[in-house]
């Protein structure tokens, strides 16, 4: 009975927190990716070449939903480490812990790149934030999704 009451209170509080509308967006323009002589300085840890088990992160985090509304396949790096690839017109999700994080995206062909820094305050932990690539822009939602 106590578990049921706790679950109901938890569900109610989650629904009221997520009921807020997205307020503003940040527009980030893409730019032609420069030709580097050697390694890209924005990437420290690229796609793993072998299957290595990775420990699942624990603790609180904020989920980012990446919508790729473009014809490009895009590789995503968070804090210079590879996090995944999103196909053209696809969607992906990743989580970030508290603090400031740099999200760097580059098309698989290396023709376009985007870079944005997001701050994840403790107050937004547990919420979802949309990141949408539309043409040359990334729109980063400031509020929470419904």
Q: List the structure tokens of 23.
A: 């307020």
What is the predicted pLDDT for the residue at 24? 60
| Mean pLDDT computed over 90-95 | 87
104 neighbors 120 (Cβ within 8 angstroms)? no
129 neighbors 101 (Cβ within 8 angstroms)? no
- Residues in the chain, total: 146
Q: Which domain holds residue 84?
A: 2-46+60-141
CA-nearest of 80, 143, 68 to 117 is: 80
Range with top average pLDDT, 5-9, 42-46, 49-53, 137-141? 42-46
Residue 30 lies in a domain: yes
| Mean pLDDT computed over 51-57 | 60
104 neighbors 115 (Cβ within 8 angstroms)? yes
Residue 34 lies in a domain: yes
- The answer to whether the pTM exceeds 0.85 is no
Domains contained in the chain, number: 1
What is the predicted pLDDT for the residue at 142? 44
41 three-state secondary structure: coil
Distance CA 133, CA 116 (A): 12
- Mean pLDDT estimate for the chain: 75
Domain CATH for 19: 2.60.40
- Please check the confidence at residue 135 and state whether its pLDDT lies above 60: yes
36-45, 63-72, 109-118, range with the lowest pLDDT: 36-45
Angle CA 119–102–64, to nearest 5: 65
Q: What are the φ and ψ backbone dihedral angles of 2, each rounded to 5 degrees? A: -65, -40
- Please check the confidence at residue 50 and state whether its pLDDT lies above 70: no
The upper half-sphere exposure of residue 113, i.e. CA atoms within 13 Å in the direction of its Cβ, equals 15
Residue 52 lies in a domain: no
């Amino acid at each position: 009975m106590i578990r049921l009451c706790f679950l109901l209170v938890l569900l109610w509080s989650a629904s009221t927190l997520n009921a807020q509308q997205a307020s503003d967006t940040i527009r980030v323009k893409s730019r032609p990716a420069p030709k580097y002589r050697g390694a890209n300085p924005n990437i420290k840890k690229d796609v793993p070449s072998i299957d290595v088990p990775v420990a699942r992160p624990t603790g609180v985090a904020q989920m980012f939903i990446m919508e790729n509304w473009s014809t490009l396949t895009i590789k995503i790096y968070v804090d210079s480490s590879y996090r995944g690839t999103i196909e053209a017109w696809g969607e992906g999700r990743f989580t970030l812990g508290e603090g400031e994080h740099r999200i760097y995206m580059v098309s698989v062909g290396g023709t376009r790149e985007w870079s944005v820094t997001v701050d994840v305050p403790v107050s937004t932990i547990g919420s979802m934030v949309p990141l949408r690539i539309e043409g040359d822009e990334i729109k980063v939602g400031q509020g929470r999704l419904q």
